Structure 1
Amino acid sequence: MAEPDSPQFKLAITVMSIAAGLMTVLVTGLLWAAARSGNPNDFLDTGKLLLTAILPVVSAWVGTILAFFYSKENYLAASQGTLDAVKAVSARLASRKLRDVMMPKASVIAVTLGPSGVLGDLMCAQVVAGFETLTPQQQRINRLLFLRADGSCAAVLHRSIWNEMLAQVYQAPGKSIDLKADPLSALIDQSQPGGTGPWSAFLSRTLAFVGEAGSLADAKAAMAAVPNCQDVIVTRSGIPTEPMLGWISNVDITRESQA
């Protein structure tokens, strides 16, 4: 609210006083003229007309003045409410330990890389089979993890990206792919639309890693630090070369934020 000694307060009071004075003079003059006419109906009609014309104006003035005086408080209250909500979510995520909410490695549907450890050496048929694998809830997965022989996570492939890579091949003149016989390199060695590098780099660089002692708040921060990241891999100390212990997705973080 504006301070009584502030220029804004004085200006508002001055404008309101002048407007109220002019309106009082106008209303008094019109009513006096109607009363002098000697016709009672003229007086009543004039009163009704003035009420109809002036009431909206007065209401608008009052609303404007109140909005002027209390806009700062309303803004501060809204900002504080937003800040409190953000703090509550942050506190909730910080209280949720990764061990309690992550999907353990034993429950993760993943494909293990071959002896070469190269993602492109896998066969497309292995990826197709991975996406066709049903969860215990009899649902097909939408994200497929790729693990190295030592148990560390090498990459993640979302079904939407898989479909986009396939569409890129099918739409290119003179190109084709045999999902039963061709290696995965036939897809992931393609350049991403816009010339931002091959798909293979995208699949391996959109993972974040955190230590198992951390919280969901740590997972969220790690995810935010990696462009296009929607998946966090939990290892013993958060080092990418360590065996994967569990997996957290952006869906998990969103669900826990709203719990």
Structure 2
Amino acid sequence: MAVEELFRRYLPFCIGLLAFVTGVSVLEVPRLPWGGFEKLTNFGAIVAISGVVMVVSRFAIGPVVSAQPAVPDPTASDTWMRQRIAPIVLTVGTLAITALSALLIVVFWQLGTATGPENVIRTKLDSILMSIFTATLPVFATWVGTVLAFYFTNESFKQASEAALLAANPPNAHLPFASSRMIPYEKIAKLEVDRGGVRTTLVSDVFSRFNDQTTRVIVFDKARSPIFVIRRKNIPADWIDEAGKLKAQALTIDDYLKIGNNAADAVQFGFIPQGASVEQALRALKDSQSDDLFVTATGQKTDPVIGWLTNDRLK
């Protein structure tokens, strides 16, 4: 542990302890008799004053010896001060009021217990002590209320300002829309079929849409909702002859789905709303664990597809 950290932690305690020992010595607490509350009140006053000294020393020494960042940040410093000012003021104020009240009680108690033929304070000691209580309680309440009102009013103003800035500058306003990179529905390599008979659709109808640029075909229903994504690379090699044509014309999509992991892969895709940004589309692509995203008006899969996005178009 660094020397500065040791000073920051233990020097305020040592100062408070020194104040306590000094107070005990000055008021000669050990020599006072235990009759009444004189010794107890003196001791309480010394403890309260020592606590105030220790707390003030802690906040006075801490900022001086604590490590500072290489490049000071005025915003961070202001935020730190606003977060600390309420507990600092409340703590110091409470201890100061407590110490002042204890000191007044000790002084008036000693004056009231002093011997003398005409000790006016002795006859009015109870009312004096009650006056101290009734005087300090409103001060403490006003003190706490003022600090808390300032703190929470400031927080409310800060939240209102942030809400106004957020409304004026939406977080995704400066980000490009993913829909600007999509393939419109009209240009998608697709096949539109009745959903009820999709599995009996011939693979040859899908295969005829493959070319050098088109390596996957989307099978939609009549409502423009995607059903399957058929990939050329997942068609078994023994289905294709040396000329690159499909051998068996009677094979269906159901036969394709029964090969390996094709059934799971064909329905592995996601959806995003039309107003989604590229960053949001990338997150949706990752969440869907696929290479295909379909753009709809609201991002719901029940809406008609507006466009299609692939992993390559989002890079």
| Rg larger in structure | 2
Tell me the TM-score normalized by structure 1.
0.49
Give the alignment's TM-score, normalised by structure 2.
Answer: 0.41
**Higher RCO (CA-CA < 8 Å; seq separation 6+):** 1
